[in-house]
Every structure is written in C-alpha cells, then in structure tokens.
Structure 1
Amino acid sequence: MGGLLCQIILRYDNGEVLNLLSKQAIALKLYEEIIERVGVGIHAVDHVGKTIIYNKKMREMEAMNEEDVLHKNVRDVFQFQENQSSTLLQSLEHGEEVVNVKQTYFNNRGVEITTVNNTFPLKIDGEICAAVEIATDVTKMERLVRRNLKQTKTEFTFSHIIGKSSELLEVISLAKRATRTNSNVLIIGETGTGKELFAQSIHAESDRANAPFITQNCAALPDSLIEAILFGTTKGAFTGAIDSPGLFEQAGGGTLLLDELNSLNITLQSKLLRVLQERKVRRIGGTKEFPIDVRVIATINEDPIDAIANNRLRKDLYYRLAVVTLFIPPLRERITDIEILVEDFIKKYNQLFNLNVQGISNEVLQFFEFHNWPGNVRELEHVIEASLNLINHESMIEFHHLPYQYRKNETKKANVVPVFSQPNNTENTTLADQLALFEKQYIQQLLQKNHYHITNTAKELGISRQSLQYRMKRLNIKVN
C-alpha cells in the first residue's frame, strides 16, 4: 500500500493526492462497516495464525471480546475436541478450501460452540499470507438435537397419574387401550393438566417402550429451525446446512411427541401431514425420501374446533392425528382429585425439604375446591411447594401459608365459599351429590339462555365444547 501511495504522489498534485486518499479512506471505512455488520461470523488470521479480523457476529457467537482474540494465535485462545483441529488453521497450513464443515470447539472459558464453516486461504503471488473463515452458529440446534437424542426413555407410567375421579379414570382407561396399537394420538388439555404424562405412559406400556421417545415443543422455536429439526437437512440446502437426520428419523421405531401442535405454522402442518400420510420424510434441500416407523402423539392446549376455526390447526391434519383422542379434564372439573393430589405433593416436598407436614386445613381444602385453577395440576403443585417454603414448625398448611396472590384475591370476596341453595332431594347429603345437582341445574339454565347452542354455552361456562358435551352426558342432560 505504501509503494502505491508514493507513485500517486509523484504523478498528481496535492489536491489530487488528497482526493484519492479520501476515497481510499471511505472505501476502507465501508469495508470495515460491512464486515462488522454482516450477519455471519468472520474470522481471519495472518500467515502465522494470529487473528487480524474478528467481527461482531463472531464475537457474539463465541461470547468473547475483541481483545480476547485479536492479535493472538488461535491455538492459544481456543480448545478443540480430541482428534480435531481448527478449520481455519487447516486451510492456512494446507492451502485448501474447507466447505460446509461442522466444528465443535471451546472458547477461553470452556463454553462449547458449534459452527458450520466455510474457510479459504488468501494467496498473493502464490504465497499463503492469510486465511479467512465464514461461520454460521448452529450451537442451539446442536444442543437441541443432543437433548432430544438423550430423551429415549420415559420417566412416567400410568401409575404416576394421580386421581380417583370418574372423569380422570375414564381417560386413563381409554389411554391404556391405545397402548395396544400404533395409531396416532391427539391429547387435548389445558396447560398443566398432564398431557405429557399421558403421552409418556402410552409409550411406556406399548410395544415401542424400548425404542426412542422424543419430545419437541412446537412453540419453542422459530419456523425455520423447527422445520430443520423435524425433517432434517441436506448439505448445502442453505448457508450452514449439513447432512443431518430430523426427529422423525431419530425416533425410528419409537414415539415422537409434538407438544403444542397448534403453535406450528400452517405451512409446516401441511408438510407434517404429508409425512404422516406417506410414512416417508424428505430432508430440507434433498430429493431422497427416507421411510419412517414412528408413532406420533400430538398435544394441543385448546379446543380443536376453535383452533381449526381460527386457522391454527389444519382440519385434515386434525383428522389424521385424532385417530385416538384423549380429552384431559381440567382440575376444576375433577375436584374430587384435589385432596389426593395435595397428599402426593406434600409427601414429595416433605422429602425434598426435610419437613413433616401432615396435610392442609379445612379452610385451605375449601378454598382449593372452589378455586378456578387456570394452571391446573401444575399450579396446585406450585402452590403446595410455595406454602411449604413458608412453613416453620407447623404440621398443617393453613390459609396464611398460601402464596400472597391467592390470599390477596380471596380477601376481596365477601365469602370464600359460594352459598348453594338447599337441593330438593334430601337424600343427596354428600358434597359431591350437592355439587353434581347444582352443576346440572346451572348448565341447564345456561343452555336455555343460549337457546341450546353448545358452543356459546361452553364459552359462557369457560370450558371447551367437548368438556360441556362430556358433562351433559355424565349428568344426563338432553337437548330436545
């Protein structure tokens, strides 16, 4: 660069020299800004392996500062897995391009990083003077794949499902029958009702029990990433893509649980439908189709009729998955299970916290039976755990032990327990009988108010359409 400037000075007058220098400065500044702002990692080393370019994206990917890397030898900063070396140094030493190679290594704090690299040497007059690497971060995808591969065994069986209500026992019975076949299963239930518990139980008692059980939450990842994870990728399909099997291939012979299916993009749902119909999967960017032997269990946290109506679930995919349909009732619809669940949670946290709590007071039980439980069984467990954190030496959970938000809400009400009118049938003396009678009368009143429109009545009740139909059947409510 210095020799070129000397020639310019000899040829042009001062004004022309300054003008050219100004243009060069602008060009240099432009190159620096492009390298710094581009959305891929760029790392360049000189002829001895010392870093000369280390852009912002690369710093973010490797969680390191510029001063940690710049002007230092790559070997002194990073550590590589056994039998592996830096693709950047390989290209520098051998003078060859490295294309679409996945590399796992560790930064100066021992944090694992996985990238897909395109690396090439820079030559001047036939001599290698530097090497440049363009890297795409796939650390998150790599961790997800590893986590899913590790999850090949279930933790729960039907014996872990706690409850004695007829509503729950009926669902358990249907789920047990589903273990005899390989049909797809759709599990419907609100957040916290135990949908994955049922899915794991079905897998654990089926003939696929010794094969992988892999779970993927469809709401946890962006569309581009979830598509690659589900169906796999082919090398070169997009920047950083490598040959990688998707979850359908990884779960071969076993079960794939697709949690919160209604959060999956409609376009991806159509691709999922094709895989289920043809029992073959094609990786992104590929032409070859791989046969699959996978049982799919899907969960949704809303009424499928509403999901279809609001374009969150394809109707044809619903029918393909809902060969076996399990509707898990929310906790507020099976209050007879509350007491036994409380006993189980107290036992669990007594062991964890080294306590000896015996139970809950009648006031707390009464509150639990009339609470709406939007978080269902999971919420109840959290309440018990939080209450045990507030206990000193008491043997019972009292109302003042409950988390603040529950106590605060209740103080705004005139009565904790609603007042029921005395039923006409004096033989119905138990709480369960009285509640069933009140429930029947209340549903009948709202049905009449809504001109026996099931969907509108269910909406006013705050329950799903299927739940209302189930209750009507149980309570022998007929619509003329």
Structure 2
Amino acid sequence: MPEPPSVEPMMQRLYADAARVAQGEVSVLIRGESGTGKEVLARYVHAASPRRDGPFVALNCAALPQSLLEAELFGIERGVATGVDERPGTFERARGGTLFLDEVGDMALETQTKLLRALEVGELYRLGGRRPYAVDVRIIAATNRDLGVLMAEGRFREDLYFRIADWDVEIPPLRDRRGDVPHLAGHFLARESERHARRIRGISRAAMKALERYDWPGNVRQLKKEMARVALLVGAGELLDSARLDPAIAAAAHQPREGLKAILRRAERQHLATVLKATNGDRRQAAERLGISDVTLYRRLKAYDLP
C-alpha cells in the first residue's frame, strides 16, 4: 500500500479511512479547492484497492464540450459519421479498474442523465452503437464546486450524487494543514533537484518560515510549482533562501501567524455563507439547518458582515 503524502494528523486519518474504503466496491466523491490533491487521493484509493492491477483512467469533465465529453465517456461506434473510426470510451478503457471523473460538477445535465443510467443499469452504448457494453469500473469523482448548491439550483442531479458519493470526503486546503508545508516543500524540491542533477542542500529557516505562513491560494499545486521554479535558480550545494522565493510568498515571513481564534472565525463565516447560498438567502431555513434561532443567526450575520 502506498504511503499517505501527508504528515498532518487530519490527513493521516483521512488516508486511513481511504484505505479502508478502498477495500469495498463503493463509489467515492472527493471535494476540495483546486490544487488540494484530489487526484492524488483518487490514485491512492485505486492503489489500495483490489482493482490496483487494473487501469486508472482520468477524465476532466470541465475540459471538453458536452458532445466530446460523451464521446470520451461512452466511446464511438464505427460509421457514426463519415471518416470516424471505432473508439472505445473511458468506461471501456477503465474496465477492471478505476474511472476518475474530475470536475464532475461541471457536467451538463443531459450527460449526467446518461452517466446515471449507465451506472444504474450496469451497461452502456457507444455513440451510434446498438451493442451494450458491461460497466466494470469503480467510480471516483471529484469537484471543487458546492454540489449542495448546484442540486438546490437544479444544475446537478440529486440521484446521481447519491450514486457517486457512497463515501463523500473533503480535502482541506493547504492553509488549514500548514504542518504539511515543510514535508511537501522538501519532497518537491528534492525531486526537482534530482531531475536537474543538482544537489540542493535544503531550505533555509527564513524561507521555510515564509512557506509556512503563506496562505497558498493555489494549494499543493502552487507549492509544487514554486519549488519547481526555485530549483532552477538555486545552485548545487546551496540552501534555498527566501530571496529566491516569489516576493508575495517571501513577504509572508513578516506577517503574524494566524491565531486559532481567527481561524475558527474564518471557518464559521465561510460555513454561514455556504448555508445561506444553499438556501438561496432564506434566513429561516438557514437557521433551521444550523440548529440556531433566527435571532442568533441575525447576530452572527451582522458580526461577520454577511448579507
């Protein structure tokens, strides 16, 4: 079984749960901001599962228009159009393994309906085809969208959500697990220095302080990109110093560390905003969901300057 790419206790627990979930034939929905490592977790589940020897096929649902996405999902039968050859879709290519549907929240409703049918019936038809193909994949889906809001707005099918989310898990952003920053930064820098055949000594205290205090809006992906950039600038045998870092990141070293109270306030404000959005601004319904009185909700909205 692969090692979890994290040293934070919350992430260690998440990956331990993932290893247990991987043993069953359940679908997985991974939520989180862009760059948090959703595909990394998906590949971990695949590698820890009985399907590990089968293929892992990834498809970004936001990268293609609807017609091309359906062709990629279900495949194309020969002769569906002039000059078009037979082509299996990702369902067929992932047979016996895992199909990872990234950005599933961006999928058109019509395509959602076809996907749901394939999962419920256990078979699919290629575009232009008449012969059914058996579905034999584990579905792992991922999104950075709020599916609760999309379902409330009628833009994501609730029945599809329940079909793809036997285990629904959220990966926290890197700013909420700063203990991972030294581990990941060191790992990425070592890998890049090896790739360039240039042995970099490590990361200075000043640089590490900046890395740990920066908020990383692009999450792990941004950290990885920054380490790849600075690896080109640091000479063999040198330490990565803060002067080599992006100025915005280097400046974070001089900012006070955010206290626990501020972190909790930010989390509560975000949760209130999410619930309000999911209830289309209906304060009474939001208060019921939160389990608080209308008056308490009003006070909290006023305190956090929320509409």
TM-score, structure 2 as length reference: 0.80
Question: Where do 5+ consecutive residues of structure 1 fail to align?
Answer: 1-156, 421-434, 459-468, 470-478
Q: Secondary structure at the match of 1:211?
A: coil
Contact 2:213/2:257 (8 A) holds in 1: no
Q: Among 169, 174, 195, which residue is 1:331 paired with?
A: 174
Shift of 1:296: 1.0
1:183 counterpart = 2:26 = yes
Shift of 1:357: 2.6
Q: Secondary structure at the match of 2:179?
A: helix
Q: Among 35, 42, 47, which residue is 1:204 paired with?
A: 47
Contact 2:97/2:136 (8 A) holds in 1: yes
Post-superposition Cα deviations, 1:87-140, rounded to whole Å, max 9, x if no partner, equal xxxxxxxxxxxxxxxxxxxxxxxxxxxxxxxxxxxxxxxxxxxxxxxxxxxxxx
1:455 counterpart = 2:275 = yes
Alpha-carbon distance in structure 2 between the residues aligned to 1:350 and 1:243: 44
Contact 1:259/1:299 (8 A) holds in 2: yes
1:439 counterpart = 2:263 = yes
Task: Count the aligned residue pairs.
Answer: 280
Higher relative contact order (CA 8 A, sep 6+): 2
Q: Secondary structure at the match of 2:49?
A: coil
Q: Which shows bigger deviation, 242-251 or 269-278?
A: 242-251
Residue in 1 that maps onto 2:70: 227
Q: Secondary structure at the match of 2:186?
A: helix
1:158 counterpart = 2:16 = no
Alpha-carbon distance in structure 2 between the residues aligned to 1:357 and 1:175: 34
Are the structure 2 counterparts of residues 318 and 441 from structure 1 closer, same or farther at C-alpha, using a change threshold of 3 Å? closer
Are the structure 2 counterparts of residues 312 and 367 from structure 1 closer, same or farther at C-alpha, using a change threshold of 3 Å? farther
Contact 2:119/2:135 (8 A) holds in 1: no
Residue in 1 that maps onto 2:303: none
Shift of 1:397: 1.6
1:413-424 correspondence runs (5 A): 416-418=254-256
1:352 counterpart = 2:195 = yes
* 1:439 counterpart letter in structure 2: I
TM-score, structure 1 as length reference: 0.53
Are the structure 2 counterparts of residues 417 and 276 from structure 1 closer, same or farther at C-alpha, using a change threshold of 3 Å? same
Are the structure 2 counterparts of residues 391 and 222 from structure 1 closer, same or farther at C-alpha, using a change threshold of 3 Å? same
Q: Secondary structure at the match of 1:390?
A: coil
Alpha-carbon distance in structure 2 between the residues aligned to 1:290 and 1:367: 53
Q: Secondary structure at the match of 1:252?
A: coil
Residue in 1 that maps onto 2:205: 362
Shift of 1:174: 1.4
Contact 1:388/1:401 (8 A) holds in 2: no
Question: Where do 5+ consecutive residues of structure 2 fail to align?
Answer: 279-289, 291-299, 301-307
Alpha-carbon distance in structure 2 between the residues aligned to 1:335 and 1:457: 28
Shift of 1:322: 0.5
Alpha-carbon distance in structure 2 between the residues aligned to 1:437 and 1:339: 24
Are the structure 2 counterparts of residues 437 and 358 from structure 1 closer, same or farther at C-alpha, using a change threshold of 3 Å? farther
Alpha-carbon distance in structure 2 between the residues aligned to 1:197 and 1:419: 29
Residue in 1 that maps onto 2:13: 170
| Greater fraction strand | 1
Post-superposition Cα deviations, 1:437-479, rounded to whole Å, max 9, x if no partner, equal 55346656x59xx9x6763599xxxxxxxxxx9xxxxxxxxx9
Alpha-carbon distance in structure 1 between the residues aligned to 2:48 and 2:104: 23
Q: Secondary structure at the match of 2:80?
A: coil
Residue in 2 that maps onto 1:295: 138
1:67-466 correspondence runs (5 A): 158-159=2-3, 161-309=4-152, 311-392=154-235, 395-404=238-247, 406-407=249-250, 410=251, 416-418=254-256, 435-436=259-260, 438-440=262-264, 446=269, 455=275
Cα RMSD between the aligned structures? Answer: 2.9
Are the structure 2 counterparts of residues 365 and 442 from structure 1 closer, same or farther at C-alpha, using a change threshold of 3 Å? same
* 1:313 counterpart letter in structure 2: F
* 1:455 counterpart letter in structure 2: V
Alpha-carbon distance in structure 2 between the residues aligned to 1:456 and 1:417: 32
Contact 1:232/1:247 (8 A) holds in 2: yes
Alpha-carbon distance in structure 2 between the residues aligned to 1:230 and 1:215: 10
Shift of 1:231: 1.0
Contact 1:194/1:377 (8 A) holds in 2: yes
Shift of 1:394: 6.2
Alpha-carbon distance in structure 2 between the residues aligned to 1:378 and 1:186: 20
Are the structure 2 counterparts of residues 457 and 290 from structure 1 closer, same or farther at C-alpha, using a change threshold of 3 Å? closer
